[in-house]
Amino acid sequence: MKPAGETEAVAGYLSVASAAVLWGSLGVAGKFAFASGVHPLEAAFYRAAFSALGLVAFALLADRSAFCIHFRDLPLFIAFGLVSIAGFFAIYLYAIKLTTVATAAILLYTAPVFVTAFSRVLFGEAITKVKAVSLLVAFLGCILVARGYDLSSLRLTLPGTLAGLGSGITYALYSIFGKTALRRYSILTTLTYAMGVGAIALSLLSLPQKVIHTQHSPEAWAALVYLALVTTLLAQTLYLAGLRRVQASKASIVATIEPVVAGVLGFSLLKETLEPPQIIGGFLILAAVLAVQLGDRAPGEARPRRG
């Protein structure tokens, strides 16, 4: 029988990996929504709004104590929603607009580096050799999966690079805000407030641009509901559940399987091509994820603090 701590860690990794698998389907669902006339910023708003409404409804029916927070923690949830929900959604779209999809994706996956650095300072998570090597291998894998080897698919401009790095930082801060909030609150409370603030902020960003519409085809609404309930609400619940059990830095590395899943789904459902370097990149990411999980069993590897 596995020790309780090891079993808990395995459960945490499985939860994070499951979230990453769901995030990997985001691109396919997004393409269906965009093909049906949905604006990217509109999709971001509906993702947050539907998720927030679902969370509020569930809390009203199942656990009204989820609405109770200390006033001193309100800035934490406001920052969480503004930075890692609304900010991330908007900045990443801006990065894609200013560069290319491949460039934006590569810059986005600098996030585990930021998570590791922040977690070392804020949570005392050790930067072990296994973790450092896994981080490097995972990032190299992400570059290959995003076709970073094809220079024609890349475009670096100062504004675009800053936006791409900004998306990586705001994405990384999701783990930091989440880990901090989970030390004092449930997953339901954490998500309800963060998603609520994010939805309000995205509405204020979207309404002046007149990109929110209510007349869409059933296919478009199906894609939007999937984006909200599966790739946002369910995925983020699973990720936060994993953050309770494993280090934020390790969770961020495990989550890099997202582009692998996205590539496989694009190949199987959208008939997109998978080139040999992309396949190699996928195996590198899987190797990094496996190394991070096995690292928990290595002598001297620090156990995560409970969030």
For residue 212, the model assigns a pLDDT of 92
For residue 86, the model assigns a pLDDT of 93
CA distances from 105 to 126, 164, 256, 262, 265 (A): 27, 8, 11, 12, 16
For residue 301, the model assigns a pLDDT of 44
Q: What is the pLDDT of residues 59-107, one digit of tens each?
A: 999 999 999 999 999 999 999 999 999 999 889 888 888 888 778 888 9
SS3 per residue for 117-184 = HHHHHHCCCCCCHHHHHHHHHHHHHHHHHCCCCCHHHCCCCHHHHHHHHHHHHHHHHHHHHHHHHHCC
Q: Which two structure tokens, joined as six digits, stand for 208?
A: 């002046």
For residue 1, the model assigns a pLDDT of 47
Domain positions in the chain are: 4-295
For residue 42, the model assigns a pLDDT of 92
The 8-class DSSP code of residue 15 comes to H
Cβ atoms of 177 and 84 within 8 Å: the answer is yes
For residue 302, the model assigns a pLDDT of 43
Instruction: Report d(CA 40, CA 24) in Å as an integer.
Output: 17
Q: What is the pTM of this model?
A: 0.89
For residue 147, the model assigns a pLDDT of 87
Per-position b or e across 146-160, b if 16+ CB within 10 A of its CB: bbbeeeeeeeeeeeb
Instruction: Report d(CA 163, CA 190) in Å as an integer.
Output: 27
Neighbours of 70 (CB within 10 A): 9
The 8-class DSSP code of residue 83 comes to I
Which amino acid type is present at position 209? Q
pLDDT tens for the 307 residues of the chain, in order? 455 567 888 899 999 999 999 999 988 888 888 889 998 889 999 999 999 999 999 999 999 999 999 999 999 999 999 999 999 988 988 888 888 877 888 899 999 999 999 999 999 999 999 999 999 999 999 999 988 888 887 888 888 899 999 999 999 999 999 999 999 999 999 999 999 999 999 999 998 889 899 999 999 999 999 999 999 999 999 999 999 999 999 999 999 999 999 888 888 887 788 889 999 999 999 999 999 988 755 544 444 444 3
- Compute the radius of gyration of the chain from its Cα atoms: 19
